[in-house]
Amino acid sequence: MATRFVATEECDAADAYKEAYINAKKEDVMIVKSPVGLPGRAIRNTFTKEREAGRQPVEKCFGCIENCDPATTHYCISRALMEAAVGEKENSLLFCGENVWRVDKITTVKEIFDELNGNS
């Protein structure tokens, strides 16, 4: 349910991030592993394809996760999320919900609630 609120006018996500949600197809949704092995759902893009193919050396460690070893991790999650925050659609980690492919437009929070309440 929260995925729908990313593609709203009120959400402060970069417009390019919102566009990635709108353009996502069902087959673009995948499970990724965080540097510490936790799963997350994301939109398939250049970043995720490259991570499937191999490790990306960590150039700078931000020390954000205590049990993350920059010498062995497959990628830096901080860098991937910072890139997403500024609207980099291809070289970032675009977390999403399972039904992101159903998001088809930028709307408002009010319009979502109107629809949920049967007022649309």
Which pLDDT belongs to residue 120?
Answer: 67
Rg (CA), the chain: 16
pLDDT beyond 80 at 36: yes
- State mean pLDDT over 19-42: 94
| Residue corresponding to tokens 């860098």 | 79
The predicted-structure confidence for 54-113, as pLDDT tens digits, reads as follows: 877 788 888 888 888 888 888 899 999 999 999 999 999 999 999 999 999 999 999 999
Q: What dihedral do alpha carbons 80, 81, 85, 90 form, nearest 10°?
A: 30
Please report which helix (H) or strand (E) contains residue 39, including its range. strand 39-43
pLDDT above 70: residue 29: yes
CA 106 to chain centroid:
17
Domain boundaries defined on the chain:
2-116
CATH topology of domain 2-116: TIM Barrel (3.20.20)
